[in-house]
Each structure stands twice: as structure tokens, then as C-alpha cells.
Amino acid sequence: MARTIALPSIVSKLDLDDYMDRFIGFFARPKPIAMPGDIHQHYRYIQALSGVRFPEPPQLPDTADMLIRLQKQAVLGLEELFVFVKTIDYFRKLKAMTLPEPLYGWLAQIEIPDELSEATTLFTDEGELNPEKDETLHALEEALKRNRAEIRDALYKMAHSAALREYLVDSQVHLYGGEETLLVRGGFNNVIKAAVVGRSSAGHFYIVPQRVSALKEREAVLLSDKSALIYRYCKELSALFRKWERFLRFLDQAFDRFDHYQARVAFARAMSYEFVLPQKEKKIVLHEFAHPAIKDPVPLTIAMERPVMLVTGVNAGGKTMLLKSLLSAVYLSKYLLPFRCNAAKTRIGSFKSVEAIIDDPQSVKNDISTFAGRMREFAALFDKKEAIVGVDEIELGTDSDEAASLFRVLIEKLVAKGVWFVVTTHHKRLASLMAGDETTELVAALYDEERRVPTYTFLQGSIGKSYAFETALRYGIPPAAVEEAKRLYGEDKERLNELIEKSTELERKMRRTLEEARHKAEEAQRRIEKLKEKEERLEEEHRRTLATLERRYDAAIKRAQEAVKAKESREGRRLLNEAHKRKTQQSVPPAVSKERTPPKVGDRVKYRSHKGELIAIRGEVATVEVDGLKMRVPLKELRTLSDAPIAKAKVPKRRKTTDIRVEKSGASVSIKLLGMYADEAEEALDKFISDAMLNGLDEIQIVHGTGSGVLARVVADYLKRHPKISRFYRMPGNLGVTVVEL
């Protein structure tokens, strides 16, 4: 699909033109790339669609004008009506599929009226009226076929007749002005009556024999009858579609929404790209990122955790591409467009706008100098909030020392307003002025001294040397000229560059050492996590074993009480009381006593088998984000992943006196989970089954309803994992209840 969408200038500035052209080609019809609505909801739909195969949507034109004409009582043509038919048919195919949530629930809400479904059967796959649905149309089609066959037979016979042979230029049937004709020489009227419809360049005649003319007149009558019949259908279908105009408008919007999703998923599959959802936290962490415009890129791994990133270093070493990569990642993530990276380790903050000050703004026509143009662009930034701005060669167009002081102040003022910056420069003045600022991150583009080429890699926390002399040699400047330039440059400044190189190398060695230490720490943390999980499993098994023993003990006591009650044995009562005392004294204390630091917002936490980030606390309820989904869970059941296991504390045994009462169990044999979230349902189900086991129940019922089937799947998955479930099945005749045997 050729581009028919006007893209913002930032796309060209970031070299994303080809990327956008390829992506737009996956749309079923042209539209802006932005998706209105909640980006988190769109992300869930895209993730769900990424896991299934779906039919390719039909290519459709814009229907806005057609819907307006329907409102104004217009009669749409057959081709226009077929656009709506294709839309309806596509949604019928989607609804017939077994799609994951939330796609299934969304499509289930789209109920196509029976009248519109029936109307789609009037069309063939090619968009013509289906002759099988109308006897008159079928008869007209058959008559046209026979008439055309007669025309072909008549022309063939005449082209091979002996009487006309000497006048024929050839024995072919020629199309002239859309008509089937014979090409003959002069004098043909002596042997055949025919109408001349044209002449060839050689002076020959294109003729239509009189017999064929009669057949063509008959064909014209048949076509006229067919056109009248088609118009009647168009009028009736336009009236029907006008009745459902509001539904068709809604379906049109739903198609555009699904088109946004399918285009992104199909594009990501075709290009092996991944999606990254913008986070609230203002930072950018790229891992193995590749800019779409680079054919064989060096994967970029870099973190921008401060509002200003100042990039210095070698010429043609990738400083500008680093700037464009950071801004491109933010821009593509903002619109949920996929790109190449390690999505599991990539984090991108949410910014309201992406700005790039890259091109030379000089304009002779408007009498604007380079520096004046830069000032105009910076002035516009004071109206921006929560923006990220890339500035390439920031001192361009004026004295570098003066510009360094000016731009430092401008950047500080804009950072205070929430604007982030990625700045590239060859001059050390600005870098030295901002090096000690807590808001600034220094980045150096690295150079391979041995091979004398840029590495297109970067070192954070360092100022880079420009390598102007080395670059000049690499591009063919005579060595004598470079040596003379070095002498003019001065030995002191050259020694300063050597110190910069040495500090950069030391920084790289330190980073490698820290990286090795980090890997070892991560490995140790993984082992700790495995030990914690094993400890939790053992504790759970211990708790369940105790519950089983308690249940058996209570059953035995109950039988003993019944026997004692029957015989009124005083000695039996004494032994029964003694058994209760022994049970109380020998109760097993908790295996582990832990003192954990209460989790706080921002911590990585674990809830049962789920791991995520704690994003909010309200009273005793916490909200945890797991793989982009939010769960509300009890705060007391969360464990901070960084918690280390504390040594087991000895709990002194305490003697207790227990009153023994024999009474009927108060445990319920059924539980209703209707209206609960998945995590709430699992929590309630876990407590219900534990209570049922403690009270000796052999069979229980779980009421989850039918609905969309989400709760039923949650219940089934939980029961499959539970070690004490003998078997479970749906109650016959009522699919909303599951029966469980303990």
C-alpha cells in the first residue's frame, strides 16, 4: 500500500520513513498510526492477538463518505455496498474463532443483526450479486451466456466461410472499441451484409456482420434488464443499511481498531520485532536495540536514568545515531510500534512528546542564521512538558565557549520543567561545565586505536576524545598535513587527550569488573530464590500433612466419644481427656519464624507463584503488576524478593488446656465465586478446600457460573495443581458448577 498518510516531521528527523512505509503497508486501509484510548488496554489486546493465527483482513476504502450518503437517503452502488458486506463477513469469521481474552469478550459484545447477516449471502466472493439467490437474475445470466456463445459461434463460422475467405485479412476475431469484429478488405459487401465500425492503418475495414448485430442488440436488452434488477437490489440494500447505519458506523470503528492491532502484530511477525509498553517511571533502558534504518547495526545496550545525557567522542562514531536510537525507541514505544530489542530487559518511560533539534535551521529566504534558528527551536521548548528532546551538535552556529554557558543554563531551566535531553557535542567546554551536575549522564563514543576505526559502542560516565586527526588520516588527508596540525594544536592539549583516553580505558576495565560481579550476584540471588521456593513447598506440604492428621484425629475422637457415650464408662472419659491433653501438648510449632521488612511501593514482590512489582498499597490490600496485568492481593501475603531467609527461631512449647466439645461440622459443602477476579477466586478457593479437608468432607461443589468461561478455567487450573484433589468434574446439566472429590 502506498503511503497516503501525512506523517509528522519527527519521523524523517529520526530516519524512520522507510520503517513507517513498511508498517503502513500492513493496514487494511490507511489511517493515522496513533490509537485513541488506553495504551495499556491496547497492549493487552496486541499481546493476546500475538499468540494466535487470524485471517488477513480485506483491503477496504474509507467509508466515511458512504455513511454520510446513507444518512442522506442516497442509493449506494453495488461496489460500495460490498465494502460493508466484507466488513460484516470479516467479523463473522473472527467471532467464529476461539480467541483468547480479552479479544473473545470484546468480539462477543459485537452482535451482528440477522438482517445484515442475511444480506451478505446475496453477494458472491467477487462482489457480484449471487444468481443462486434470485431466479430472474439467474435466468438473465444464463441468457447472456447463451447469447455470447452464439456471437462467438457466428463470428467463427464467418471467419472460416469459403464465401468471405478472399476478403478476410486474417481469420482472427478483433476487438475494436470494445466490440468483436472481423478485419476485411474492400468489396466485402458483395458477399455479406455488415456494419463498418472502423478502419485499420492499412485501409482495411472492421465490420460487424448483420447477424451478429442482432445478437448484440439482444445482449444490450439483457444487460439493461440486469442493470435494472441490480439497481432494485441496491435500492433495497441501501434502505436496509440505512436502518442499521449507526451499527455500521460502530462496526467501521471496530474494524479500524482491530486493523491497528493486526497490522502491528503482522508487522512484528514479519520483521521479528518486539513490543515495549511505556512505563510511568521516567527512564530509558535499551538492551540490544537496533535502529530500523541501519542495515547491519551493532546492537545498542545503554541506560538513560538521568534527565540529561551528554554524548561526546569520536567523529563518525555513532553519536547522532545514539541520539536517534534513544528518541526512536521512545517514539515507537509511545505508539506501540514494534522494534528489534530484548524486550524483557528494555524499559522505556512515558513522554508526552518527542522533539529533535537535528537539522541546520538556517534559512536565507527568512533571514535566519543557524544560531538564530537554534534559539527559536529552544524557545519553543519552554511550552513543552514531559518531553524528550534530542539536540545534535548543540554549539552549532556560534562560539563554542559562549554557547556552552548559554546552553547549560537553558538545559537546567528546561529540565526543571520536566524536559529530558539527549545532547551530542564535539566540544569539551559544555561537558566540563555539566560533568558535576547530578542531572547529567556523560557518555563517550569509543574508538579502536589498533584498527583506527570507530567501534560504534559507548561508555557511560566518561568524556570522549574527538579523534579529529585520526579521522582525517582515515579519509585520505596527507600525513604531513595532519602532523603539522598536531604541532599547531599543542602538546599540552594532546597530553590532555591522552589522559582522557587513559581514564576511558580505566573506566572500561572497572565496568567489566562490575559486570562480572553483578553476574555472580545474580547467580547467588537465583540460588537463594530456589531455596526459598523449596522452603515454601516444604512448609506447605507440612501444613497439609498436619491438616490431614488433624482430620483423622478428630474423626477418631468422635468415634471414641460415641462409644464412651454409649457405655457411660468413667475410665473411657478419663482416657479421652488424657488424649486431648497429649494432643495439645504435642502440637507442632511453626517450622520457621521470620521477621520480614514490610514491602513498599516499587519493590519486586512475590505472591504465591507470581512475581511482579508492588505499585500501590491501600490499607491491607496491595496492587501488584505482573507481566503488564494488575492484581489486588492481601498485603500480608506478599514477600519482598530481596528478603533473605532468617535463621529458624526456637519457639518454646507452651502447655495449653483445651475444652473438648463434640459438635457437628460448620464447614460449607459449596462456595460461590461469581463476580470475583481471578486472584480473589484462587484465594477464596484455597481457604475453602483447606476448611473442607479439616472438617472431613469428601465432596464439595464450586459455583463459578458459565459467563465467558474465565472463572471456570481459573478453577480447573487450580484444581489440577492441588495435590489433595482426587478428581473433579462438571455437574451434569449445569456447566456452571464443578464437583470436587477430596
The reported pLDDT for the residue numbered 646 is 39
For residue 516, with 0-12 CB atoms within 10 Å meaning exposed, 13-18 middle and 19 or more buried, which class applies? Answer: exposed
Phi, psi for residue 38 in degrees, rounded to 5: -75, 120
Are 293 and 255 within one domain? Answer: no
Domain membership of residue 427 (yes or no) is yes
What lies within 8 Å, CB to CB, of 607 at 6+ separation is 624, 631, 633, 637, 638, 639, 679
Which three cell numbers, joined as nine digits, stand for 437? Answer: 551536575
Which three cell numbers, joined as nine digits, stand for 292? Answer: 530500523
d(CA 244, CA 110): 14
Q: Please give the average pLDDT of every successive group of 10 residues along the chain, which has 742 residues.
A: 72 94 94 93 96 94 94 94 96 93 94 94 93 92 92 88 87 87 88 90 90 90 94 96 95 96 97 95 93 89 92 75 94 96 95 88 52 84 92 75 82 92 81 77 74 67 59 69 66 51 58 81 88 86 81 72 58 59 52 63 82 86 80 84 47 42 57 84 86 80 82 87 85 78 85
Count the domains in the chain.
Answer: 5
b/e per residue, 387-411, with b = 16+ CB within 10 A? bbbbbbbbbbbbebeebbebbbebb
Are 266 and 288 within one domain? Answer: no
For residue 237, with 0-12 CB atoms within 10 Å meaning exposed, 13-18 middle and 19 or more buried, which class applies? Answer: buried
Are 621 and 694 within one domain? Answer: no
Nearest to 544 by CA among 586, 588, 579, 605: 588
Which three cell numbers, joined as nine digits, stand for 63? Answer: 467509508
d(CA 481, CA 527): 61
| Three-class secondary structure of residue 54 per DSSP | coil
Given 439, 472, 488, the domain boundary residue is 488
d(CA 618, CA 632): 10
CATH of the domain at 639: 2.30.30.30
Which three cell numbers, joined as nine digits, stand for 413? Answer: 531551566
The reported pLDDT for the residue numbered 47 is 96
> 0.85 cut: is pTM over it?
no
Reduced DSSP (H G I as helix, E B as strand, rest coil) percent helix, strand, coil of the chain, to 5: 50, 15, 35
Are 308 and 409 within one domain? Answer: yes
User: Domain residues for 609?
Assistant: 596-643
The reported pLDDT for the residue numbered 79 is 95
Are 259 and 289 within one domain? Answer: no
Are 98 and 195 within one domain? Answer: no
The DSSP code for 637 is G
Are 100 and 171 within one domain? Answer: no
Q: Chain centroid to CA 435: how far? A: 38
Are 424 and 299 within one domain? Answer: yes
Which three cell numbers, joined as nine digits, stand for 742? Answer: 477430596
d(CA 23, CA 34): 13
DSSP E strands, 431-514: 440-448, 453-460
Phi, psi for residue 371 in degrees, rounded to 5: -65, -40
The reported pLDDT for the residue numbered 687 is 85
The two beta strands, 727-730 and 737-741, are antiparallel
d(CA 307, CA 420): 5
Are 331 and 383 within one domain? Answer: yes
CA atoms within 13 A on the CB side of 462: 26
Which three cell numbers, joined as nine digits, stand for 370? Answer: 543557524
Nearest to 667 by CA among 638, 698, 688, 637: 688
Are 103 and 158 within one domain? Answer: no
CB 305 within 8 A of CB 283: yes
Are 480 and 619 within one domain? Answer: no
Are 483 and 375 within one domain? Answer: yes
